[in-house]
Chain A
Amino acid sequence: MQEPNWQIARKRATLEARARILQQIRAFFIAADFLEIETPQRIPANAPELHIEAIPSADWFLQTSPELCMKRLLAAGYERLFQICRCWRAGERGTRHLPEYSMLEWYRSNTDYQKLMNDCELLLTSLKIDRSLAWQGKDIDLTPPWPRLTVKQAFVQHSQIGLDEALSTDQFETIMTEQIEPGLSSRQPTFLIDYPVEHASLARRKPDDPTVAERFELYIAGLEIANGFSELTDPEEQQKRFTAEEALRRKIGKRPYPCPEPFLKELAALPPSAGIALGIDRLIMLLCDQKIIDDVVSFTPEQL
């Protein structure tokens, strides 16, 4: 008799926990009067981003995020939306990355990114009501409020060079992973906020400092869990930023992407809004004390 595939069988406890957590997430958003939405996963155009590679599907693409359809719904008057769906990004495979993964996105109109950070605190404390978390030997206190540190401050505190120098010498990501991320607290979640505008192509500029955008990333125990921002609602500026991203893509020889025209057209109707994407698989890693992403999904690409 063929022995059961133990590499898959041994994930049972985690997959059971995963199912429970997904139900709790849905219950959390439904209780907060959010509408659960499904949007097409195969679309004619994603938002063009320099460092995100979409997977072609016939003459369209698999979505890299549901954000464009979610924002078109906001522009059509839906105020609070959430979606749990699959996203695809070519070439992303590591201990914390899968090329096909699960994303939770939620959106609110008539508010900004500060409100979404409060949502994150509420969501996590609803999933862990004892407000504490142990991940890979680190004890994390989830009691809100969580520190909100600007990217500028983070460079002052944790980097050997300043933010401007890092940007002009193309070292932003390297310093982020090698100096900033390890320097963030491992005892409390941290919001890294206010990213340089060139690292936030769909986010609104901060009114009192137009060099940065109202974007944040949530880190827990060194894991990057979520990315949110106040939405850019100016179609002209959005068009300019897409064009700039496309020009950079062409310059380094990456495939050009079609422009999401209906999104740009309807953006003018978008009220002030904020939206966030949270990696479900990483959240499960955190809540189930799993070190690698392979252990929180039923199948990895290599197991297919």
Chain B
Amino acid sequence: MASAASAMFSRGIGNSSSKENSMRGLVSFIADLRNARARELEEKRINKELANIRNKFKQGNLTGYDKKKYVCKLLYIYILGWNVDFGHLEAVNLISANKYSEKQIGYLAVTLFLHESHELLHLVVNSIRKDLADHNELNNCLALHAIANVGSKEMGEALCADVHRLLISPTSKPFVKKKAALTMLRLYRKVPSIVQPEWNERIIAIMDDPDMGVALSVTSLVMALAQDDPETYKGAYTKAAVRLRKIVVDHEYMGDYVYYKVPCPWLQVKLLRLMQYFSPSEDSHVRQLMRDSLQAVLDNAMEMPKNVQQNNAQNAVLFEAINLIIHLDTEHDLMVQISSKLGKFIGSRETNVRYLGLEAMTHLAVRAETLDPIKKHQDIIIASLRDRDITVRRQGLDLLYSMCDNTNSEKIVHELLKYLQTADYAIREEMVLKIAILTEKYATDVKWYVDISMRLIAMAGDHVSDEVWQRIIQIVTNNDELQIYAAQMTLKYCQQEHCHETLVKIGSYILGEFGHLIADSKGCSPIEQFMALQGKFNSCSPNTRAMILSAFVKFVNLFPEIKSQLLQAFKTYSHSLDSELQQRACEYLTMATMPTDDLLRTVLDEMPPFPERASALISRLDKKQNAIGDKRTWSVTGKDGLPGLDRSATLKQNFSGSGPAATATINGAIANGAAAATNGRNGTYTNGGAVKSPTEELAGLDLSTGSSMPNLASALHLSPDWEQGYNRLLLAPSGILYEDPQVQVGLRSEYRADVGCLILYFTNKSTAPIQSFTTTLDNRAGEQLKTDVKSIPDTTVHPGSQSQQMIMFEARGVFSLPPTIRISYIAGSLQALTLQLPVLLNKYMESATLSSDDFFKRWKQIGGAPREAQRIFQGHDVSYDHTRRVLEGLKWGVLDGVDPNPRNFVSATVLHTGAGKFGCLLRLEPNAENKMYRLTIRATDDAVPPILMKAMEERLTQPWPQ
């Protein structure tokens, strides 16, 4: 721990080694204050100084140095906790000084004196703007510091464009870029709309910045943005995977950034965290990159360094990697490795490691499919409840809660109850909640549930929140077979001399509802039930007393034999000073003495089961734990946006059919229940239950995933010159797809059966390197076309050199829309193009040789519509040569001598898809005089002819692409 860390600050309070450029007046003032033995002396000295400074400011005519010195003194006084009610303006004016040291103090004063809604703040906006626009980067930095520290909504709106400019400007120095990135983050947190969605590509591109400080800062920004809008920032996923691999596998980093032998641990941690904000990539190449990096991180952690810093830095990365592995959930090999590692960690002698091990194991327990690897360590985990550090004890509690299932629930609940007696006050309420949830979730028999619940309340009554005891009542009400036993037990508790008030509450309700079920048992007669509750009346709070009265009025209905005692009780309490009690007693008395008992029977009929809804206990636990900004968060209640793993065989399955119940609607029902009853029982507990149908639930959902950013890789955003190269490559397997003065995109393709392999070649034609080279594929064909990116181009492409990318396209079915690709890079500014890839259904065809007889036999077999498409259209050039070239380009091998008319073309092909092979036949009849074609395509599946027809017609109406 810290003791071993270093000898820093070990000179005691020391003598300040003040450097020559410090302000002497300030130094002696601080020294004076330090010598002031009593607070009064300090105050005296401060008042003297304040008077002096006030005077100097009034006289004006101060040199810059003096102003700086006095402002520093004021700042010091302020930091000591004294009120400084003047001089703010002078301080703020310093930011316009020419000298850096004066300006710096001015800016410090802005960040210390002014909070974000201070009125002086809008006075400084213009000075800040000036400094943002200054050519001196030092001034840019000071201005950025100011915004990053006190930036408000107004300031953000006024200055955001300047900050953005500094972030992306090719001339910005690394210092400016990293500060601009974090300043942008501050503004985004204040006003999310300040960051415009179309900045996404440019911002993500900075993650490739060779400067690791810039990369770190911009990754922090991207993390915040991606959490809120993963769709718009999904490009960051691949970037993070690539950068991480470069650091941990290829060892590409600047030497300055190695911290105790660990290469930039902070950047590694951020990249690993960023990837947890997205659902796991399905791209095999990216998965492999991640797998390599994660394995390397685990390998690096094989040895435990002696140096504290190195050990911590290495573990910081390791634990984040473990979280990512758990998040990915499919990496079996890695999972096995981390399970055994975590087992060692939780038994570590180092408290930090023990704690982090338990924390990671909790994450694993929430997400993993099997708890077996965790259960092996159950004893160590239980022992952690007795750790010397409350931080560890708390985490142990979370883990036990998360690892609980049907097999170990009794043991765990038993241990938790045992620990509850000695647990820290700070965590008792949470413990009670957790025990209550587990007891309900994993109850396998009636007695166990009731026993544990009652014991829990008897032991920790003061820490029991209302949700807990209300929930017990709901469960008992909704489960017939609990009722008798629950009534017996509550009565037993209420008959004891010392009984927690919460048990009296439960007793009042349960006996009022179900007392009659046990009235024939020994010791449970109506009068004994009455006496038990009556005996507690005086020692209870008004709320509980009200509940006891309600129980009594129910007794009137259930037990006519004790009516006189009950009426006597009402009479007594109708003189109560508490108006609520008085009212209840009077109303109940009236109801009980009515000529007929019709009303009584109706009002006090047995309570209906509570409507099924989520447990209020879990909501309460969530509320306690989820006030956190980080969206990755898995919580111990398992709500991480992923399909929850429910290992419980809830009461619903274990007990009778009536199901686990209701929320705190009972709250109202109990507290005001009886009063509501007299008002005609207008259904405090009927408002639940309205279970929405799935479509209703969906109706409220915005299925566009809330992304505010259009998908620039999509066909809607094709670059102006995309078409020529595309057309060329429809008819040829390789060639140039796109070219401009800066880049050339070449393409080679090969198709075998239903799989196509495309290799793209990117050449930098300019004289400067292009940076942050990024491609994003957009597949419009959905499930019909399976894409798999096998490699990604290098981030940097040097002048005259080439980088390539391989993508596989598997035709899973019949598709019509070709995929598109977005290519972006930084050459000074961000450049981007979107191109359509020549991946067409035709590419998956293979021509077949058929004799004339065979051809026409099959032609007839397939028959006409719907498996035929026919069109007559004007051709561009109906000459024999051109027509034949187009047909062959689109992979329709021409069958010579098959058609009786030699001017006609016929062709037969097999279309390969994962969904099967389709036979396709074509007949093309050119008419030279009218320059017309008649084209007929037949295929063994309805879906095919229109798609092939469209491709063919488009080509035949156009000139051969040059």
The answer on A and B forming one complex is no
Binding site for B on A (CB under 8 A): none
Binding site for A on B (CB under 8 A): none
